[in-house]
């Protein structure tokens, strides 16, 4: 049976979060957290510097080496750009470095896939992060998301243009698009075309309901997911991340599949 048929079948243990395993050092396994909203005051994430530092402290205690911080860039709601984000990020980076000098912070973004994203690609004006692919090649990654309510339009062309511009696309929280829950071949198709698939820790913990939990679990079980991310907007998301240290599913995935958050490079 093809994996996407298995994906549709219920009865997987991934339907219910299981946190019964002996804990592992999660940060040592995943190394970088690659999706979070920790730049204070620029989107719906951290509101103040102290909020940001409290979340970073949680990552440090979990043993992470660093984090790629990804503020929303959405032309209608969060019209951010590198110019608007960089000063607030640098302020945070200096404050974090004073406390945890070994912990790396990198500024990227979570782009909403719309006309503005297409314009940023055309202008080669993108916030990206440096990573290493499964063949050991250095790549430039760009995190993007779709809307939650309607399937994306024209995304194949935009993703193709992104790749032609020399970037690897990274899809945020692939389990959070309900219109594809019964069409997982859509996610598989993106993965087959070189898009890195990520899932959110909170989804694996059931915070968004059983369907998101099921789909996220299946993406890990089948090795389609390349990264598990906090997508932290607040400490509740760091709690979800920390809980994964006892997840048999995450432990199995992290020892049998490529975990591409291990290949994030701190230099730019
Ligand atoms: Fe996000």
Ordered domains of the chain (ranges, CATH): 24-263 (3.20.20.140)
Among residues of the chain, what percentage have pLDDT more than 70?
A: 93
CA of 196 to the centre of ligand 1 (A): 15
What Cα–Cα distance (Å) separates residue 210 from each residue in 24, 145, 207? 25, 21, 8
246/20 Cα distance (integer angstroms) = 6
Residue 16 confidence (pLDDT): 72
CA of 129 to the centre of ligand 1 (A): 15
CA of 246 to the centre of ligand 1 (A): 24
| Model confidence at 11: pLDDT above 50 | no
CA of 41 to the centre of ligand 1 (A): 15
CA of 234 to the centre of ligand 1 (A): 11
SS3 category, 74: strand
pTM for this predicted structure: 0.93
Residues 95-106: tens digit of each pLDDT: 999 999 999 999
Q: Which residue has the higher pLDDT, 18 or 6?
A: 18
Work out the pLDDT band at 184, boundaries 50, 70, 90: confident
């Amino acid at each position: 049976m093809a994996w996407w048929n298995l994906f549709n079948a219920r009865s997987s243990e991934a339907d219910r979060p299981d946190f019964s395993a002996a804990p592992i050092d999660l940060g040592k396994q995943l190394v970088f957290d690659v999706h979070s909203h920790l730049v204070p005051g620029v989107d719906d994430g951290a509101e103040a510097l102290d909020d940001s530092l409290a979340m970073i402290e949680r990552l440090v205690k979990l043993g992470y080496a660093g984090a790629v911080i990804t503020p929303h860039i959405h032309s209608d709601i969060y019209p951010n750009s590198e110019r608007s984000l960089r000063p607030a990020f640098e302020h945070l980076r200096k404050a974090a470095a004073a406390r945890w000098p070994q912990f790396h912070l990198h500024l990227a973004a979570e782009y909403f896939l719309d006309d503005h994203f297409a314009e940023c690609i055309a202008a080669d004006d993108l916030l990206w992060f440096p990573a290493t692919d499964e063949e050991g090649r250095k790549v430039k990654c760009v995190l993007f998301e779709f809307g939650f309510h309607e399937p994306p339009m024209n995304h194949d062309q935009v993703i193709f243009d992104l790749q032609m511009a020399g970037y690897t696309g990274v899809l945020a929280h692939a389990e959070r698009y309900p219109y594809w829950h019964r069409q997982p071949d859509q996610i598989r198709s993106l993965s087959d075309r070189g898009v890195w698939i990520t899932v959110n820790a909170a989804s694996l913990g059931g915070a968004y309901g059983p369907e998101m939990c099921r789909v996220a679990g299946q993406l890990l079980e089948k090795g389609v997911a390349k990264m598990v991310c906090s997508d932290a907007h607040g400490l509740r998301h760091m709690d979800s991340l920390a809980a994964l240290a006892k997840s048999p599913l995450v432990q199995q995935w992290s020892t049998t599949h490529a975990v591409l958050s291990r290949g994030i490079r701190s230099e730019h």
